[in-house]
Copies of this chain bind each other. A is one copy, B any other.
Amino acid sequence: MTHVIGVDLGGTKTAAGVVSPAGEVLMSETIPTLNRAGGEAILDATAALIAGLVERAADAGLSVSSVGIGSAGVIDASSGTVVSATDAILGWAGTELVSGLSSRLSLHPSAVRAVNDVHAHALGEAWLGAAAGSSSSLMVAFGTGVGGSFVLDGAPVLGHRFVGGHVGHFASPYAAFDGTPLPCVCGGSGHVEAIASGPAIYESFLRFGGSAVDAADTRDVFALAASEAHDGGATAGSAGDRAAALRAIGVGAAAAGQAVGGLINVLDPETVVISGGLADAGELWWKPMEFALRQELLAPTVSVPVVRATLGNTAAIVGAAKLVLK
């Protein structure tokens, strides 16, 4: 069996690797995504990245036959085109990802496949990561946004319009303040992402009276929450900051857990994988998340394993590679 290239094309950087049939990433490289330069320039740079890896693989005596891509945006996996994308990558919508890369690389179009990066991420974890060996898994990532994918019998459920897995965009009882649903980046309101994402936790912190001077971002909020309660010289402000930080994290984590718990009742996956920056933020977030999650579960699902993602940054590369590995 030949090796393949897996590509993880995100809003800020594009990583690619030579992946063995067993899923090992043997060599990899990362470049900035030319997110202001338009689709054709990105295709040029990505093709060059891939070509360089193919050459390195050849030097090592490895033949590479095909390319799998996980890309930001809504990706039509049938035609290999970018259906829509946010402004994180200008001019990405409409790009013919598969045909553009295959022609640049002189590959047959059938040797190149593309899906959304979250779908690739979930497939990687399902194949070789935290859900390896499970016949179905639900991966939910909590970070800058909230996204996920349900992987069934070795394939991510892409959805009819290729937006399956937008698990950040359903109603959360927590996503309201003073009785008003919080605005969501999708244009809707009251969604899980509006209270459970990293940026949402920072906004909750400010809403709960935390000081923007003492915490500039979500990471600072976690640092404040983890700090020992001040004694003696502490100002009222810093004690209030810590309370606001703890509350913001608690609410975000509870909303996250409640959402995942409800999805477990709907999808009944064998294994649940939690990923993203917040999953890596430690017990402060994980404990209230898992507590809220377990409260939601129907009796037959109470023993569902809920585990942290294990592949880190290589998940999407490995998952993208899996698309084209036989």
Contacts and interface: CB of A to CB of B under 8 A. Distances in A.
A80 interface: no
Which bracket fits the contact residues of A? 35 or more
A188 B258 CA distance: 11
A14 B167 CA distance: 37
Nearest to A295: B188
A314 to B, nearest CB: 26
B170 A296 contact: yes
Contacts of A268: 158-166
Interface in A143-188: 150, 152, 157-167, 169-173, 175-176, 181, 186-188
B169 A171 contact: no
Interface stretch (A27-35, A55-63, A297-305, A316-324): A297-305
A132 interface: no
Given A166-B265, A266-B266, 4 more contacts: A163-B265, A165-B266, A171-B171, A173-B175
Interface of A: 74, 83-84, 134-136, 150, 152, 157-167, 169-173, 175-176, 181, 186-188, 190-191, 258-259, 261-263, 265-270, 295-301
